[in-house]
Amino acid sequence: MLKLLKYALYDILKSRFAIIYTVFLALVAISIYQVSDDLSKVSLSLMNIMIMVVPLISAVFATTHFYNNLEFVELMLAQPVKRSQVFLSQLLAVILMLSLSILIGFGLPMLLWGADSSLITLLAVGMILSAVFTGFAFLASVMTRDKAKAIGISLALWIYFSLVYDGFVLYIIYSFADYPLEKATLGLVMLNPVDLGRILMLMQLDISALMGYTGAFFKQFFSSGIGMLVILMVLSIWLVVPIGLSGRIFKKKDF
Amino acid sequence: MISVNSISKKFGRQEVLKDFTLSFDKGNSYAIMGPNGSGKTTLIKSILGMVLPDSGEILVKGRSIKGKEDYRKDVGYMPQIGRYPQNMKIGQLFSMMKDMRPEIREYDLDLVEAFELEKIKEKTMGTLSGGTTQKVSAALAFLFNPEVLVLDEPTAGLDPIAAETLKSKIRKEREAGKLILITSHILSDLEELTNQAIYIFEGEVFFNDSIESLKEMTSEEKFSPAIAKLMQWTLKKKSTTKVLTHA
């Protein structure tokens, strides 16, 4: 397993994409640090960019990588190694690469200009979202035989979770504004990993007061130890379920 | 040594292998023939575990291969079209493959030397010509001195010298008592290298016996006309089944 991961990582870290992505993230972080000295403003701006960009890049890159690496996968499947290990090594290599890019690209500027707890949370959220969307991308990839279709599915998932879902939630909140919605919104938030990541960040930023009564309720829920635990559990479900499903399909796939 | 027990495989609606049963014994060399799309590669990939049959089972050394991977230690596979990581150098590819089978320490370097792969080990796989890639595939298949050799169109794309080198290597391994499976459309190669003929037609075994009895059955003295006759018979069979289904 470790051997497979070593070769998969070796291949992926040598690709030009890893470097370009890291430099891009670093440039974003540096330019935002230049604009403002207030750390909470920095982390808010970084969060707004990250929450859009990281899932998108993760989804598209993981799908392309899966298809570009089919040769390697086929080669390995004719060797005395377990299918599940071939799958996991590919997946972990992508997640590790994306996480490293965030860690270096955002982390270095933080080392230079300082960071607070919200910025550390930002790094963690970025890595979790990378992993979740890599899982989605692998699921899309093993479900189809066509690269274009798989990228389409990955993009559709990104659009849904990043754009469409929020519109849907807003619509519900407006339509049922006369009812107490705190718990319902809480439930709705759980159904979207991107929102969960965003809330995890916002709760660190002390701006929940801006969100009115629901915000206060959220603050109360998520700041408690149980709330945090619930969030992490739900996020790990978002991580494990797509990966588990795609692993099962991969085991039965013909090459 | 390998037995394939009534496996079936469908790709979508197309039935590639139908209730397919065969067995391969040690010390023999099998020519697997059949028109394009008759299921040769699917059969080979099923034996390697790359394609999973819908039903039936495959036994290697008496043990089912389902969900197993250890048996592949004893199988050397040369694919029809070798696909390798494009950024990897030849030398890295070889050391990686050795790393995958750490328990094997003695390597068969005959083909590596014959094809002079050592000289070009710094070249990346993506820059190699089709023929050179085939040489790498061949050298890798023989590298671990496996008991079973599965060669999918081994000489296709090789220059005449390389093809001869590979053939004499196959002959040598055959004399050493290994089980060899070869698919090819080059009948002269098959006649030289094999003693058993298997003809697959539309996912079913149409002929399976020694080459001698194939010649006897078709009352031909040479291999190619014998195969040609076999192919004509399959066509007849096809037309009769058509008539039957229309009736």
At residue B56, φ and ψ (nearest 5 deg) are 85, 175
At residue B232, φ and ψ (nearest 5 deg) are -60, -40
At residue A114, φ and ψ (nearest 5 deg) are 90, 155
CA distance B170 to B181: 10
Cβ contact A135:A243 at 8 Å? yes
CA distance B74 to B192: 24
Residue B196's beta-bridge partner residues? B30, B210
Give me the pLDDT at residue A211, please: 61
Convert the pLDDT of each residue in A75-93 to its tens digit: 888 888 889 999 999 999 9
By DSSP bridging, strand B196-201 and strand B204-210 are antiparallel
Q: How many domains does chain A have?
A: 1
| Closest CB from B48, B75, B100 relative to A81 | B100
Closest CA to A252 of A149, A115, A143: A143
- What is the rounded average pLDDT for all residues in chain A? 87
Q: B59 vs chain A: nearest CA distance in angstroms?
A: 16
What would the two tokens of residue A19 be?
Answer: 């470097």
B190 touches chain A (CB under 8 A): no
Residue B150: domain span: 2-246
A81 touches chain B (CB under 8 A): yes
Contact state of A75 with B84 under an 8 Å Cβ cutoff: yes
CA distance B156 to B148: 20
Least confident of A110-124, A202-216, B139-153: A202-216
Q: Which residues of B59-82 are buried (b: 16+ CB within 10 A; e: fewer)?
A: bbeeeebeeebebbbbbbbbbbeb
Convert the pLDDT of each residue in B7-37 to its tens digit: 888 888 888 888 888 889 888 899 998 888 8
Q: A51 vs chain B: nearest CA distance in angstroms?
A: 32
Cβ contact B38:B87 at 8 Å? no
A252 touches chain B (CB under 8 A): yes
Residue A226: domain span: 2-251
Contact state of B50 with A81 under an 8 Å Cβ cutoff: no
CATH number at B124 reads 3.40.50.300
At residue B242, φ and ψ (nearest 5 deg) are -60, -45
Q: CA B32, B38, B41: angle at the middle one, nearest 5?
A: 60
Convert the pLDDT of each residue in A124-165 to its tens digit: 999 999 999 999 999 999 999 889 999 999 999 999 999 899
> Which residues from A are below 8 Å from B70, CB to CB?
80
Cβ contact B136:B166 at 8 Å? no
A7 touches chain B (CB under 8 A): yes
Q: A249 vs chain B: nearest CA distance in angstroms?
A: 12
> Which residues from B are below 8 Å from A15, CB to CB?
87
Convert the pLDDT of each residue in B48-70 to its tens digit: 988 998 988 999 888 888 888 88
Q: How many domains does chain B have?
A: 1
Contact state of B96 with A7 under an 8 Å Cβ cutoff: yes
By DSSP bridging, strand B55-60 and strand B63-64 are antiparallel
Contact state of A78 with B88 under an 8 Å Cβ cutoff: no
What would the two tokens of residue B170 be?
Answer: 């196959």
Contact state of B100 with A78 under an 8 Å Cβ cutoff: no
A3 touches chain B (CB under 8 A): yes
> Which residues from B are below 8 Å from A252, CB to CB?
52
